[in-house]
Structure 1
């Protein structure tokens, strides 16, 4: 029964609608034991790490919700379709880990290392990634309401791949996400959802925002040198005290710029 339940959950993610408003929680029952309980203990996972002699461990499809896994070395671990809801991963090393279609609802990954992590189809609503390092990670998933304040998101690969029709239009959802003070240098967020996101004082140097939704977002004090604003919806967005405005790309092609709050000098 558990295998069937998770298979159906995975299917619901894979079959997400091929349009902008993806919702990876549609049809998912979040109150089942498979989503709220753990089938292993921290000691069990520590034993696996010890026996692996430095090799990545396999936790594919495991129910690990609610566990305290803080500080563990999970570098390269296979956590595909794992349930990690409300799990404490504070300071854990998940560099290069496979978190595709994993569930991280309300999990704590503050200060965690997720360098190069694979996060396609991940559901991480209301998760805490404050101060985490997601350099070159691929977070094509749902992070609505998450905290990424002060996070390292350099060269993040979050842009939608419209050439891959088998994946529809899956894209990074940063709706209402706290990205204040985050470092997004060189990140690709093309066609991503950043509506109502807090990007105050964030570093958006050379960020690809082409076709993204920044409606209602707060970019006050952000560094935008070299950022590409082609076809970006900025309705209701705060674009004030921006740094590096003179070197942005396609600033004049923003959508709904007349509805944004923009400094007269910009």
Structure 2
């Protein structure tokens, strides 16, 4: 049995109130960080970075969907992907819950999945590659926006805590972009090169796609791999004007619950005074 999809109309593209609510939380939390409202800097940073990270995840998936729509998959709108509603994603757990959990537990922007794209509706290898690349390119753009005050040397008047929050948020975007561009089955990087591989190679690799993200996460727990990866991340951030100290203290401030156990870094506390 086949399913007929109508073309996207305006209702399919109306921004979801859920997404607007997340943006509102980001704005209010950002204001709280900037003004040190109620003296709860750590909790405000947690809300600001987490909400902003979810916004970037929504934009990541939206970029995939929008590119697919313009490439020929007219079923995208009817699936609700153009509304930026995270609950409309094929795997809300992979797209939102797990990436947020990885940030909270590991301080790393691990990519999630996914919008379901009907690849059979799309012709042209370049279009397929661009659809896969659109998501992580959104993370690249988000990272440039977060680091703009640093590489533009426009930090005068920016509160120290807000600066740390931006640095940590930039770290998440850079790690997400790098990991997403890895040519590992199941990640966007493999999706970029997959159209150019032979049918035989794609058939052999396909069974491993569901385990690609798990394999990457497991490798990052290997100390040597973790060191090499974060050395590369910090090298890129230094090129954008963000120091390792700022990203480290941003993560330290984000984990506000460490205050309860006396585990926060005294170096960050001293430098922040």
Whose relative contact order is higher, 1 or 2, with alpha carbons under 8 Å and at least 6 apart?
2
Q: Which structure has the larger Rg over C-alpha atoms?
A: 2
Q: TM-score, normalised by structure 1?
A: 0.28
Higher helix proportion (structure 1 or 2):
2
